[in-house]
A and B are shown apart, each in its own frame.
Chain A
């Protein structure tokens, strides 16, 4: 076996993984980072909270939900920047004129050429444009193609495909015995009654565990009729997905 690998500013990989749990960004310009995910850096890099004076224009261009801008910092300058998140697997992805929706807790950092928007699905954010972003997952990420049904806890995100819908499967709760089961709870639930169903063309990102990364606040939704989670007449509310998770917990 080799000894430990020693890196310096030149031998660190450029925009690539150092190993499964750390990512090295070759910074020349600006990157957005989630607060607290930088573990080390080489070079001349400044970290600014978003929305501080001169960075206002950035927020206008790359951030479309100013409400959660406080959870992000901008790294600017030149150098190598190391990112990691609680020893979770870290991966980078390239978007080319594409869009990708990801669970807010999984996104670590992204290039300023991408723009971040709040998804209409609560708890998710969407990246649009061309550029690179870094995401963390519990267990490595797998890419699968629709049609597929995914356990809500195993879903990391999806790219270029229509938003998922809910799929409920409790066939075993039908009939007399099923009714008895539903009434008394005897026999338990399989914990797999509810999935997200994806159809159409695109890619779905799965993690190999049902342990969800803690959500980052994505900010509120503008109040107004017809906005999910927004104003009056809206269905669900911000806790919509949380409500489902609670449902799954109760039954699981």
Chain B
């Protein structure tokens, strides 16, 4: 089980009966065996209510259920793919960055305002996450899309990491994030450094950063 990295832009996933995968629609490149791709009306796991919740929160990325027996190649748009293996920890990622994830993971949505109130919402706007973001929890693999390669930066309680909001991809573990601003009079007169906003992550976990400031 799990995802095998074929190259920086392509993964291979094994599908066995009873253990479906979820993937972004249209991201299948090729497959062997008898595998079916069913568009997912509810945009992921859970019943109608969680689907409605996702729809309302703008986190309903078009997903499809991949079932059957065989192996499937996934890739999308020439973007880099990074595989994250979760062993019981929690991953925060934007729904449209999800290429594929195993059905064994629990999918949820969180309100960014719940962490830091208004500043959380501002942070969501700055990182392009919007007001809500998707969480995945449990044991299994997730394939995340990024523009450019992905760096994994460890965060420890004593060492916080600052990230450009546009280069932020996802984070794992028990992290608190805070938008730190370094706005000065230079920014007001249009002579800023272009790095006025930074995302500060502190706690224990990992943050995933892409080598580009381009959104997907």
Q: How far is the CA of A148 from the CA of B72 in the complex (A)?
A: 10
| Cβ-defined contact, B26 with A210, below 8 A | yes
Decide yes or no whether B197 CB sits under 8 A from chain A: no
Decide yes or no whether B52 CB sits under 8 A from chain A: no
| Cβ-defined contact, A148 with B10, below 8 A | no
Measured CB to CB, the closest approach of chain B to A23, in angstroms, equals 19
| Cβ-defined contact, A150 with B39, below 8 A | no
Q: How far is the CA of A190 from the CA of B72 in the complex (A)?
A: 15
| Cβ-defined contact, B26 with A140, below 8 A | no
Contact of A190 among B64, B76, B78 (CB under 8 A): B64
Decide yes or no whether B212 CB sits under 8 A from chain A: no
Decide yes or no whether B111 CB sits under 8 A from chain A: no
Q: How far is the CA of A81 from the CA of B73 in the complex (A)?
A: 35
Q: How far is the CA of A185 from the CA of B62 in the complex (A)?
A: 14
| Cβ-defined contact, B75 with A139, below 8 A | yes
Decide yes or no whether A68 CB sits under 8 A from chain B: no
Interface residues on B, range: 20 to 34
Query: Which stretch of B13-21, B30-38, B124-132, B199-207 is in the interface?
Result: B30-38
Measured CB to CB, the closest approach of chain B to A91, in angstroms, equals 12
Which chain A residues lie closer than 8 Å to B25 at the CB level? 188-192, 252
Residue total for A at the interface (Cβ-Cβ under 8 A): 31
Contact of B30 among A148, A172, A188, A191 (CB under 8 A): A148
Q: How far is the CA of A193 from the CA of B26 in the complex (A)?
A: 9
Say whether chain A's binding surface is mostly helix, strand, loop, or mixed. loop
Which chain B residues lie closer than 8 Å to A54 at the CB level? none
| Cβ-defined contact, A142 with B7, below 8 A | yes
Given contacts A188-B25, A209-B78, contact A139 B9 (CB under 8 A): yes
Q: How far is the CA of A187 from the CA of B40 in the complex (A)?
A: 7
Decide yes or no whether B28 CB sits under 8 A from chain A: yes
Which chain B residues lie closer than 8 Å to A235 at the CB level? none
Q: Which of A122-172 contact B (CB under 8 A)?
A: 138-140, 142, 144, 147-151, 154, 169, 171-172
Decide yes or no whether A84 CB sits under 8 A from chain B: no
| Cβ-defined contact, B39 with A154, below 8 A | no
Q: Which residue from chain B places its CB closest to the CB of A252 in the assembled complex? A: B26
Decide yes or no whether A211 CB sits under 8 A from chain B: yes
Query: What 0/1 pattern do residues 191 to 210 of A give for CB contact below 8 A with B?
Result: 11101000000001011111
| Cβ-defined contact, A151 with B39, below 8 A | no
Q: Which residue from chain B places its CB closest to the CB of A187 in the assembled complex? A: B41
Which chain A residues lie closer than 8 Å to B7 at the CB level? 139-140, 142, 208
| Cβ-defined contact, A142 with B76, below 8 A | no
Given contacts A209-B75, A210-B77, contact A148 B29 (CB under 8 A): no
Decide yes or no whether B196 CB sits under 8 A from chain A: no
Q: How far is the CA of A191 from the CA of B78 in the complex (A)?
A: 17
| Cβ-defined contact, A208 with B39, below 8 A | no
Which chain B residues lie closer than 8 Å to A151 at the CB level? 28-30
Query: Which A residues contact B (CB, under 8 angstroms)?
Result: 138-140, 142, 144, 147-151, 154, 169, 171-172, 186-193, 195, 204, 206-211, 252
| Cβ-defined contact, B75 with A154, below 8 A | yes
Contact of A208 among B9, B32, B62, B64 (CB under 8 A): B9
Decide yes or no whether B118 CB sits under 8 A from chain A: no
20 extra interface residue pairs, beta carbon distance < 8 Å, beyond A190-B37, A208-B78, A209-B76: A138-B78, A139-B10, A142-B7, A142-B10, A149-B32, A150-B29, A151-B30, A186-B41, A187-B41, A188-B41, A189-B25, A191-B25, A191-B39, A192-B25, A192-B37, A207-B29, A208-B29, A209-B75, A210-B27, A210-B29
Q: How far is the CA of A188 from the CA of B41 in the complex (A)?
A: 7
| Cβ-defined contact, A191 with B26, below 8 A | yes
Q: How far is the CA of A192 from the CA of B39 in the complex (A)?
A: 9
Measured CB to CB, the closest approach of chain A to B38, in angstroms, equals 4
Given contacts A189-B39, A190-B38, A252-B26, contact A139 B32 (CB under 8 A): no
| Cβ-defined contact, B36 with A206, below 8 A | no
Decide yes or no whether B183 CB sits under 8 A from chain A: no
| Cβ-defined contact, A208 with B10, below 8 A | yes
Q: How far is the CA of A204 from the CA of B31 in the complex (A)?
A: 12
Write 19 A-B pairs (CB below 8 A) sorted by A numbering: A139-B78, A142-B73, A148-B30, A148-B32, A149-B30, A150-B29, A154-B29, A171-B38, A172-B38, A188-B39, A189-B39, A190-B38, A192-B26, A208-B9, A208-B10, A209-B29, A209-B75, A209-B78, A252-B25
